[in-house]
Amino acid sequence: MAQPSSLTGPPLLFANSFPSLTQQFRQNVRDHPDTLALVGPHQPASLYTVQDEASSTTTPQKPSAEGLRWTYAQLDEKIERFATNLRRRGVGRGSLMVLFATNTAEYVVATWAAYRIGCVHVPLSPKCLGHEREAVHMLATAVGACQPDSVVVVAAAAAGLERVAELVRGLQLQVECCLVAISAGEVGVRDGWVGFEELMHFTKPGGKDPHQQQQESSIFFTSGTTSLPKGCFVQPSAVPTTVARAWRASPNRPMLPGDRVAVVLPNNHAFGYMFLMAAFLNAATVVFPGEAFAPERLIETIRQERCTHTALVPTMLHALSGVAVTPAQKLHSLKRVVLAGAPPTEEVLRICLSHLGAQAVENFYGMTEGIVVSTDAAESVDEVISGRDVSIGRPLPGARVRVCAKGGRVPVAMGDVGEVHFSGPSLIDGYIGNRDDEKFYTGEDGRRWFCTGDKAVVGEDGRLYLVGRYNDTIIRGGENIEPAAIEAVLGKTAEFHVLEPQIVRAPDQVAGEVPVAVVRTDVDEQMARQLKDTVRTKMGALFVPAGVIPVSDLGLDDYPRTLAGKVQKSKLTELVEAYWTAQKSQARSRFGQETLESHPNLQLIESLLAAIASAKGEDIDPTMRMIDLGIDSITSIALLNQIRQETGVSLPSSLFFTPNTIGELIERLQSSTDPSSLLEIDSASQETPRECFSTLIQGTPKPGVPSLFMTPPGSGYAFSYEPLPKFANDLAVYALGSPFLMSKSDATWTVEEAAALYVKTIRKLQPEGPYLLGGWSMGAILAYEEAYQLRQQGQHVLGIINLDMPLPRPDPHVLEPTVKLLEIVGFYPAIRRAGKPDMEIPSYRRQHSLASVRAKLKYSPRPMRTASEDSTPVRIFVIWAGHGDPDRLPTVLVEADEILRRCGPETQARTSQEWLQTPRESMGPGGWAEMVGEENVECHVIDHAHHDTLMDPEVVSCAFVFVFSVISNDMRRWNTRRD
């Protein structure tokens, strides 16, 4: 029985509760009084130095020309000064302290003072003052939740003090309010503000014992990507303490006292706050390069201060990748770069390790609600990545994670996709005001759990891998598409970094929804096509964005973002939906006005253009080839049915897979009054094939679990496998299309040549083994040759699923087949169309079938043992159709040749089809034992004819047993051997 998707972190070291931040900070002051606590090159060295300070118990400061530099003893003394002066103004336990401050010494002093006094600490971004609705909502939420005895508001003058005062007045507070201005300048008491420097005057503590322990509390707000930010009462010590101790105890690149930590994240963001406070708890030196992130300044500060740690979000890494860093300028002092805020791509990890020169990178998965999961420090990309998926690691001490079906509370089987549920001592009790309370529940284990809304899977390595978010999922023609998966693929291509592509949904009349790529800068058609081709090659046609939209076309200079800098996908989707709908309408009318005139085929032309517009969703480029639209066969059928219903004209099924441009098709219809002229359209390309087409037809690729690659039958058509019933366990199945299907190159090719191109595509989709291969009919022969070539390349092949194809045996005496002979044999049945005349198989598909038969008859497979020195067996699972005998093809070709000689080239006579229905006599290994050994061939029989094989659910149920067997047994053995 499969293990449940449940992970548990190491035990927590604290018996009852976390030690307070103040306790831990004061211990560091005692143990490391002269260790630098805070460095701020952008602030004056003499900041808040007063004459009376020399009489205090702390070591006198020595102003530095390098800016502000405070030791732990000096910082402690300044915190106490500020706290004492606030106490004398009536601020105490039960008060509320709201901060509108950037990364400055004042923020640090005020935050620590809030905890000493017993204030509820509420950090807000100064940027929120430009978003009145959010600012009012957050202030009102904090006040309503705390019912404070008094309110302290600390704000930077640059934030706009009058705006802050106006917001506070709007709350109509019935308690005392103290407004504290940072760098007040001319703003004085007469304006209702007190300068921060006034509260930093030296004064001896009086009244209550300043060392009396106060209850610590903070309110943070979620990023609000889909709604107004939700307030969270958090234990200020929980996450920073958990993380700080994990970093200090880490065997790889730990954070130790005296390490220098560059902090550029917003302090109102839970991740930024956690990183800042964890540094203080480890007695490290916090370095503020500036009040906000600036790429060049960050790199220069890390270099000058020899910083050992920093924390960044992926957007920052993309900005840093644009800063030139020579080999001599690499930031080798960086022991660890911590990433969070958004799922990073493989390229983001490489920017950290290669471009910047950091020693290690950590992927941290956290949420304001108190989630803590991490990979710890990794020295190479391969330690974090499996396939094309990036791991987020394992739960930290005391935490638990389980992956459950959406809406459920029972863990799914390991390897299955589900929603991340989190439990741990750092988890909040719920949102203020009980908003979205259904996300929290008490499990059967008595623990409090939180449903994150994130899709994930637990890999066989016992680590968690994010797949996407349920709210972001795009459903295209019934198939689920995760925007994060497309973004991850694009993130691996350097040319797309500056674009920072965001994948969102757009409405579509046929498919329901389609993915659209929004990019930060303007792009030309070539770049847009490159982006689409990258997705098509790596993921398949289903995932290709229907359009590429610069954010400027939406009337914006940048993506809509939260105050924490996250892209607001919900707002971006709304903008795209409105733009998309308008563009489709305009595209159709504009093309019609400029190109079309009154014509008998006008209705057909307009209907065709409307179908193209619905598929592409943007201005129609007459020079675009139909095949470049990236339309899969299901969508093409729907579009052709739509055209037929509107016009009564049935267009060929190959229409959307031709190299002809849109303009050429329109010209052809304009130059003829007979729409049937499109039935004879040439759909072949002059280009020599370089690689094959691929599409994900079912399932979800998972880290640590090989996908199944199905090679096409003799038709070369990838979508031949669409009727295949779905595999259990959400197994990812890729269908490959022949590289020769649309080519006018020589119709003669070999199995070895074709397999080499298939292997090239397979390794693009899954760079390393182990591999699972399969194929029906001719596809099974190609799959065997692919396995052979993969073994030659040093790759491991778990097994081959062979759907009804015996071992080919070349015979020089076999009659050379031709298109006409195969037609007589019955290879090209007419395409049936409801209410319309039958249509012949297109010539390009006839040629491909002919080439396939020729290749099969000439192919001499080699025993697998000759491919490499690897003795690991390759297993073959053969599913025989109970009716039909492919081995009789040479004999049937002779019968066809006799008919042709007797009746002439125009004959419509056919050979008997009984050879396709006669009961199969041999049900054994079919010769494959000669290639891999009899013990490695397993057979099964279904009660169907050869051409119905893919329709039988028994095919999948039997094949899955085989797949599960090789994955669970052979793969475990392979991993053990690699270790």
| pLDDT value at residue 721 | 83
Q: Is 689 within a domain?
A: no
Residues 586 and 599 both lie in one domain: no
Q: Are strands 418-423 and 400-404 parallel, antiparallel or unpaired?
A: antiparallel
Q: How many Cβ atoms sit within 10 Å of the Cβ of residue 34? A: 10
| pLDDT value at residue 743 | 55
For 564-580, write each residue's pLDDT tens digit: 677 888 889 989 988 88
Residues 138 and 156 both lie in one domain: yes
Domain that holds residue 889: 694-978
Is residue 751 a contact partner of residue 785, using CB atoms and an 8 Å limit?
Answer: yes
CATH for 508:
3.30.300.30
Residues 296 and 444 both lie in one domain: yes
In angstroms, rounded to a whole number, what is the distance separating the alpha carbons of residues 930 and 940?
Answer: 18
Residues 746 and 866 both lie in one domain: yes
pTM score over 0.85: no
In angstroms, rounded to a whole number, what is the distance separating the alpha carbons of residues 256 and 279?
Answer: 9
| pLDDT value at residue 826 | 77
Q: Is 43 within a domain?
A: no
| pLDDT value at residue 657 | 61
Nearest to 525 by CA among 624, 594, 659: 624
CA distances from 666 to 239, 370, 436, 647, 683 (A): 63, 59, 53, 16, 15
- How many residues can be counted in the chain? 979
Low-confidence ranges of the chain (pLDDT < 50): 52-58, 60-63, 187, 189, 588, 590-597, 617, 682-687, 744-746, 833-834, 836, 971, 974, 977-979
Q: Is 15 within a domain?
A: no
Residues 586 and 596 both lie in one domain: no
Going by C-beta distance under 8 Å and a sequence separation of 6 or more, which residues neighbour residue 62?
A: none
Residues 875 and 833 both lie in one domain: yes
Please state the three-class secondary structure of 532-570 as a single string.
Answer: HHHHHHHHEHHHCCCCEEEHHHHCCCCCCECCCCCECHH
Q: How many Cβ atoms sit within 10 Å of the Cβ of residue 512? A: 13
| pLDDT value at residue 57 | 46
Q: Is 726 within a domain?
A: yes
The structural domain count of the chain equals: 5
Q: Is 242 within a domain?
A: yes
| pLDDT value at residue 208 | 52
Residues 775 and 916 both lie in one domain: yes
For 408-422, write each residue's pLDDT tens digit: 999 999 989 999 999
The residue from 214, 234, 254 where one domain ends is 234
In angstroms, rounded to a whole number, what is the distance separating the alpha carbons of residues 391 and 7?
Answer: 14
Residues 359 and 302 both lie in one domain: yes
Is residue 305 a contact partner of residue 297, using CB atoms and an 8 Å limit?
Answer: no
Is residue 241 a contact partner of residue 19, using CB atoms and an 8 Å limit?
Answer: yes
Q: Is 968 within a domain?
A: yes
Sole residue written with tokens 């900070």: 25
Q: Is 25 within a domain?
A: no
| pLDDT value at residue 685 | 44
CATH for 133:
3.40.50.12780
Rg (CA), the chain: 34
| pLDDT value at residue 888 | 76
The residue from 679, 709, 740 where one domain ends is 679
Token pair belonging to 322: 């644009």
Residues 743 and 699 both lie in one domain: yes
Token pair belonging to 728: 């259990």
**The residue type at 633:** S
Quote the Cα angle for 126-131-135, to 5°.
65
Residues 345 and 200 both lie in one domain: no
CATH for 742:
3.40.50.1820
Task: Annotate 110-139 with DSSP letters as a single string.
Answer: HHHHHHHHTPEEEEE-GGGGG-HHHHHHHH
The residue from 198, 213, 234 where one domain ends is 234
In angstroms, rounded to a whole number, what is the distance separating the alpha carbons of residues 77 and 201?
Answer: 11
Residues 287 and 377 both lie in one domain: yes
Sole residue written with tokens 């001319």: 186
Q: Is 12 within a domain?
A: no
| pLDDT value at residue 493 | 82
| pLDDT value at residue 596 | 44
Residues 873 and 763 both lie in one domain: yes
